[in-house]
Amino acid sequence: MVEYPDGSAGRTKTCWGLPELADRLDRIPRYPLLRIQREVGTPDPAAQNRVARAAVKIVSIVGARPQFIKVAAVSHKLRKGHREILVHTGQHYDYEMSGIFFDGLELPRPDRDLGVGSGSQGFQTGAMLKGIEDVLLAERPDFVLVYGDTNSTLAGALAASKLSIPVAHIEAGLRSFNRCMPEEINRVVADHLSELLLCPSDVAVSNLAAEGISKNVHLVGDVMLDVLNWAKERAATANRPAILDRLRLEKQAYLLATVHRRENTSEFAQLSSILNAFNSVNEPVVFPVHPGTRKVITERGFHAAPHVRLLEPVGYLDMVALVGSARLVMTDSGGLQKEAYWLGAPCLTLRNETEWVETVEAGWNLLVGSDAVKIVDAVHSFAPPDSRPALYGDGAAADRCVELIGDRS
Ligand code: UD1
Ligand code: UDP
């Protein structure tokens, strides 16, 4: 293995087992400080394994809440055999939107924080593109790993592919077929730039095929299920989730809501229709509010009824506990639709389409859009079937992702 002056590992394949070639590499002027690790060529198999496993250098790009959750499934596993540099773009930055996940999910600290912050689509993506390019030029990774469909995903995929660094996309192939969503644009572009496409469902694989992408497409399952299983194990020892006590909630006696999607927040008519629905139901509504949505609610002076509890965003383990005990979930979140399904909570999706169509087909998720009457009706009448077939894999998606990334390098 070669080690660069900054301590980073290079590709091993060139010099593995060839000490004489390693010695020659030592003298290459391009890397005047290049140091050849003396383990090269050693007969000790344990040392050889250590060297082989360190072969791949990956820059992982995250920046928004769902990505901190997804990387929690993958990062530790990736680091067992490879070198990961974790880049946080700074798209989300409030403690409740970022730090709380690094603490609660025991994530490694980001190696680089670009601190990009909020802004228009173009400003934010452009600032990330520049920041990520600088990191990639300095780090020279073998792969760039991107997650999901945020502006951080797009910037990571674009920066890497412009430098001819292969991109692996976790959660590839999802489509809403609604190009008004910034996320749809992000995921289409990221998929078309990716060299390794790691899909959570058959539908995602088919979506890619319909766009002519079939090479290096793998059905791996959803890494969010891996994280959820970890969280459930963590919670198994507690009789009753602490957050229910803190909020004085009874199991199955409240509705859980989240709203942040641009289509629901950029037009106040949409948001107020949804909030009016929350005000009109006759059960407690627990609503951890995304800061972007909070801003609109505050600016517009919307008054929530006493049974609607507007909270700060909560940490992942608390959220899992809230979903698991809710009578029903109302959300425009992608991740939450699946968590509601896995945890057996009926879900009303406050959108007109979803990428997670299997949850709708299974009868556990109903698309209700933002119409207040439709939402209230569904709160009272929606009843999913008894059966809930397994969806989105077996909870071992991260292992497959790591293996495939290792194989491709
Ligand atoms: C982004 C993603 C969306 C994802 C969501 C997860 C894009 C295009 N969208 O949407 O796919 O579902 O994250 O939550 O990337 N803000 C704060 N503090 C923060 C973060 C945001 O106050 O820590 C406020 C700012 O006013 C900001 C607004 O929230 O303008 C929206 O944030 P932004 O990251 O642009 O988009 P999200 O709606 O979070
Ligand atoms: N989530 C959380 N706290 C909250 C709201 C959401 O931990 O207050 C979790 C949720 O359980 C899911 C993920 O955040 O795992 C979903 O992220 P979000 O809804 O922000 O984005 P999306 O999935 O729509 O892209």
174 shares its domain with 289: no
Q: Please, what is the end-to-end C-alpha distance for the chain in angstroms? A: 15
Report which secondary-structure segment, H or E, holds 84. strand 83-88
237 shares its domain with 215: no
Tell me how many degrees the CA angle 406-115-318 measures, rounded to the nearest 5.
Answer: 75
Residue identifier of the C-alpha nearest atom 14 of ligand 1: 65
Tell me how many degrees the CA angle 228-73-81 measures, rounded to the nearest 5.
Answer: 150
Residues of the chain with pLDDT under 70: 1-54, 409
For residues 62 and 89, is the Cβ–Cβ distance under 8 A? yes
18 is a domain residue: no
60 is a domain residue: yes
Overall domain count for the chain: 2
What is the rounded distance in angstroms from the CA atom of residue 103 to the CA atom of residue 83? 21
Residue with token string 């509504």: 285
User: Range of 128's domain?
Assistant: 56-222+396-408
Convert the pLDDT of each residue in 247-258 to its tens digit: 999 999 999 999
Q: Are strands 328-331 and 255-258 parallel, antiparallel or unpaired?
A: parallel
What is the rounded distance in angstroms from the CA atom of residue 246 to the CA atom of residue 266? 32
Convert the pLDDT of each residue in 114-152 to its tens digit: 999 999 999 999 999 999 999 999 999 999 999 999 999
Query: Can you give the pLDDT at residue 409?
Result: 67
Q: Which ligand is nearest to the CA of 313?
A: 2
Q: Which of 76, 192, 218, 260 is catalytic?
A: 260
Size of the chain in residues: 409
Q: Is any atom of ligand 2 closer than 6 Å to the C-beta of 339?
A: yes
160 shares its domain with 212: yes
What is the rounded distance in angstroms from the CA atom of residue 13 to the CA atom of residue 40? 11
Q: Is any atom of ligand 1 closer than 6 Å to the C-beta of 150?
A: yes
201 shares its domain with 63: yes
Q: Which phi and psi (to 5°) does residue 380 adopt?
A: -85, -30
269 is a domain residue: yes
Q: How far is the CA of 65 from the centre of ligand 2 (A)?
A: 6
Dig out the tokens for 297 from the structure.
């609610």
Tell me how many degrees the CA angle 377-381-384 measures, rounded to the nearest 5.
Answer: 130
Q: How far is the CA of 33 from the centre of ligand 2 (A)?
A: 45
Q: Is any atom of ligand 2 closer than 6 Å to the C-beta of 288?
A: yes
Query: Can you give the pLDDT at residue 233?
Result: 92
pTM for this one?
0.89
76 an active-site residue?
A: no
242 shares its domain with 213: no
389 is a domain residue: no
Q: How far is the CA of 41 from the centre of ligand 2 (A)?
A: 47
What is the rounded distance in angstroms from the CA atom of residue 396 to the CA atom of residue 176? 25
Q: Which ligand is nearest to the CA of 335?
A: 2
Q: How far is the CA of 168 from the centre of ligand 2 (A)?
A: 22
301 is a domain residue: yes
218 shares its domain with 235: no
Q: Are strands 83-88 and 112-113 parallel, antiparallel or unpaired?
A: parallel
**Best mutation site among 92, 100, 319, 347 for ligand 2, i.e. most ligand atoms within 8 A of its Cβ?**
319
213 shares its domain with 252: no
For residues 293 and 272, is the Cβ–Cβ distance under 8 A? no
Other CB atoms within 10 Å distance of the CB of residue 139: 20
171 shares its domain with 279: no
131 shares its domain with 218: yes
Which ligand 1 atom minimizes the distance to the CA of 121?
A: 8
37 is a domain residue: no
Question: Where residue 158 sits, what CATH number does that domain have?
Answer: 3.40.50.2000
Taking each helix axis as running N to C, give the angle between helix 397-408 and helix 223-235, from 0 to 180 degrees, rounded to the nearest 10.
140
118 shares its domain with 264: no
261 shares its domain with 175: no
103 shares its domain with 204: yes
Picking from 113, 156, 107, the residue whose alpha carbon sits closest to that of residue 133 is 156
24 is a domain residue: no
CA atoms within 13 A on the CB side of 65: 18
For residues 111 and 88, is the Cβ–Cβ distance under 8 A? no
33 is a domain residue: no
What is the rounded distance in angstroms from the CA atom of residue 376 to the CA atom of residue 372? 6
SS3 5: coil
Picking from 243, 364, 241, 368, the residue whose alpha carbon sits closest to that of residue 314 is 243
